[in-house]
């Protein structure tokens, strides 16, 4: 895989933003980042107390949120 020519691409928060940065006409707001959701749900299961303090309005996977 070719290395991006723009070093700022490495600082973007996810693949969708990086793709939008590289391809003209892509609107990242129209895409859903399932990887970010998967990471959030895994953290939510691992640290439910911390998640409830940081994001009390979030849905908890164990149904206690």
Phi/psi at 53 (nearest 5 deg)?
Answer: -80, -45
Counting every residue, how long is the chain?
65
- For the record, the structure tokens of 19 come out as 């793709």
pLDDT of residue 23: 83
Beta-strand (E) ranges in the chain? none
Domain assignments of the chain as residue spans, ordered by start:
33-65
In whole angstroms, what is the distance from residue 58 CA to residue 9 CA? 30
Asked if pLDDT for residue 46 goes beyond 90, the answer is: yes
pLDDT of residue 5: 57
pLDDT band, residue 65 (cuts 50/70/90): very low
pLDDT digits over 11-44, tens only?
A: 666 777 877 878 888 888 887 778 878 888 898 8
pLDDT digits over 1-14, tens only?
A: 455 555 655 666 67
């Amino acid at each position: 895989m070719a290395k991006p020519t723009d070093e700022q691409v490495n600082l973007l928060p996810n693949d969708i933003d990086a793709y939008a940065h590289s391809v003209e006409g892509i609107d990242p707001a129209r895409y859903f980042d399932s990887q970010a959701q998967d990471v959030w749900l895994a953290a939510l299961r691992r640290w439910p107390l911390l998640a409830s303090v940081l994001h009390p309005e979030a849905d908890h996977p164990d149904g206690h949120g």
